[in-house]
Amino acid sequence: MAGATILLVEDNAVNRRLAEFLLRSQGYRVREATTAQEAFDLLSSERPDLILMDVQLPTMDGLEATKKLKENPATRDIPVIAVTSYAMKGDRERALAAGCVDYLTKPLDKTRFLQLVSSYVGRKIRGS
């Protein structure tokens, strides 16, 4: 999708920079939040095409945040992909149960990451 906007919810600056770099390399616009509350605040005035949600966030974790987004008519149609550093048995099921459309583990596999994002928002190649 031309000009697709991705909301990146990630509290770790290094992970955030990497994901942002990969997304921008494909021409996506990137918005950032470091906590669930920051994401909610941003979503009160903006409507991204996709949300990448770190599961391990301070105060309110990413799955709880996703449940809240899914309860809100204004945000429930925005696809959310969960991202976690600690892949454990049952994580995928918990992410889907919370309302996420898919699930990724860190460290991000660049190809898989961009393929998955593209499958939800379409491809936007820089310069095309």
* Binding footprint of Mn ion on the chain (CB under 5 A): 11, 54, 56
Residue 71 near residue 43 (C-beta atoms within 8 A)? no
Q: How far is the CB of 57 from Mn ion (least distance, A)?
A: 5
**Region label for 27, one of left (φ > 0), alpha (ψ between -120 and 50) or beta (otherwise):** left
Taking the least distance from each CB to Mn ion, the nearer of 75 and 84 is 84
Taking the least distance from each CB to Mn ion, the nearer of 34 and 119 is 34
Taking the least distance from each CB to Mn ion, the nearer of 14 and 125 is 14
Taking the least distance from each CB to Mn ion, the nearer of 4 and 66 is 66
Closest residue to Mn ion in the complex (CB): 56
Record the tokens describing residue 6, joined without a space: 């991705």
Residue 80 near residue 7 (C-beta atoms within 8 A)? no
Residue 85 near residue 62 (C-beta atoms within 8 A)? no
Residue 127: count other Cβ atoms within 10 Å of its Cβ: 4
Q: How far is the CB of 56 from Mn ion (least distance, A)?
A: 4
Q: How far is the CB of 36 from Mn ion (least distance, A)?
A: 11
Q: How far is the CB of 62 from Mn ion (least distance, A)?
A: 8
